[in-house]
Amino acid sequence: MIRLEQFERTNFAQLIEWMDTPKFLFQWGGQTFRFPLDVPQLDNYIKNTHSQNTQVLIFRVVLEENDEVIGHINLQMDGVNKSARVGKVLVGKRSLTGQGIGQLMIEKVLKIAFDEFKLHRVSLGVLDFNLAALACYEKAGFVKEGLIREARNMDNTFWSVWEMSMLENEWFAKKAMVNVEA
């Protein structure tokens, strides 16, 4: 139904179009980006994908039936600690929200992290009021580790963030359960 492909400069215009309000950009991009999103910010984003111990895989999400780019996700890997962090998760085509696309995106990124790169732990952070994302991540097998209270500030409104993670043994147990049910 979807595939992940490398995010490239040719995808900038679509991503910029999706970031139509300061609040939406802040929810997606955190403190990495400033509104309005623009080409120089995205050039910097894709330029800084490698450092000494970190590698960032940045993906566009493509709907297989028509090759339409419908979303975005990244995976920042720490080889030293055999861990990764999922970020910048977006189903950009709003007509597809609520249809399980986010779930598929997360599963594909987890497959890359655990099956391809043999990592031990994958984490993410999600704003506490984003109930759809919380449900998606829990369904994928992520476990809430703790609430970081009032950790993000936008226009003098403070938002709390749930830290969540999945360990490799949880991933493989989930995969085994799916195979038994299939």
**How far, in Å, are 111, 139, 142 from residue 180 at the CA level?**
18, 17, 20
- CB 71, CB 105: distance < 8 Å: yes
Would you state the structure tokens that stand for residue 36, as one six-digit string?
Answer: 């309005």
- Residue 151 has phi, psi (to 5 degrees) of -90, -20
Q: What is the pLDDT of residue 3?
A: 98
Torsion of Cα atoms, 162 then 17 then 95 then 109, to 10°: -50
pLDDT per 10-residue tile (average), the chain, 182 residues: 96 97 92 94 88 84 97 96 97 93 97 97 96 96 98 92 98 87 60
Which pTM was predicted?
Answer: 0.94
DSSP string, 47-84: HT-B-SSEEEEEEEEEETTTTEEEEEEEEEEETTTTEE
Residue 120 is classified by DSSP as S
pLDDT for position 115: 97
Asked whether the bond before 36 is cis by omega within 30 degrees of 0, the reply is yes
- Residues 6 or more apart in contact with residue 182 via CB below 8 angstroms: none
Rg, the chain, Cα only: 16
pLDDT at res. 6: 95
pLDDT at 77 (0 to 100): 95
How many other CB atoms are found less than 10 A from the CB of residue 14?
Answer: 16
Structural domains present in the chain: 2-181 (3.40.630.30)
Q: Looking at residue 53, what is its pLDDT? A: 67
pLDDT at residue 58, rounded to an integer: 97
What is the per-residue pLDDT for 182? 53
pLDDT at 131: 95
- Tell which residue, 93, 117, 121, 118, has the closest CA to residue 105: 93
